[in-house]
Amino acid sequence: MFLLFTFFFFASSCGEEKQTEPQESSIYGTWQLIKQTANNADGSPNGWQDIKDGRTITFNENLTYKSEITPHDCNEITTSTFEIRKESEIKALEIIIMCINPNMTFKSQYSYSFQDSTKLILVPIEPACVEGCAFLYKKINE
């Protein structure tokens, strides 16, 4: 009887499929700028403009950050890190860059979202683009 029950239990569980949660996109990895947008001078929206050979940024799982662009007045970067926070309805990304010359700290804050699992949209919060802008990156490396 025990063997019959065991067989029935295993046979009935084989037909069940596991349901998996949709995996949230990860910001970790290397991204390349492929499009950007900014409003026109009159405030009307402007479409996405393609970028050829756009800059890359890398977000590492140890919360270090690397970019191909160095902030103005920063001769040498000592550390670059980032933080991810949820602020009300937006996901916020803060990038902190420490420089040697002069002993400066640059901070910038973006809201971020994913267009799909391979595209990242960054919108500056601080400092904000007066004309309103956004940057679309494509993941090129995990």
Phi then psi for residue 94, to 5 deg, are: -115, 130
Q: What is the mean pLDDT of the chain?
A: 80
Class of domain 24-141: mainly beta
Q: Is residue 38 a contact partner of residue 46, using CB atoms and an 8 Å limit?
A: yes
Instruction: Average the pLDDT over 69-76 and give the result.
Output: 82
The pLDDT score that the predictor gives to residue 115 is 87
Report strand pairing: 56-59 vs 29-38: antiparallel
Instruction: Average the pLDDT over 18-35 and give the result.
Output: 73
Reported pTM? 0.74
Instruction: Average the pLDDT over 28-38 and give the result.
Output: 94
pLDDT digits (tens, 9 = 90+) for 78-121: 899 999 988 778 889 999 999 887 678 888 899 999 988 889 99
What count of other Cβ atoms lies within 10 Å of the Cβ of residue 99?
19
Beta strands in 13-76 (DSSP E): 29-38, 49-50, 56-59, 65-67
The pLDDT score that the predictor gives to residue 59 is 95
pLDDT digits (tens, 9 = 90+) for 41-52: 776 778 899 999
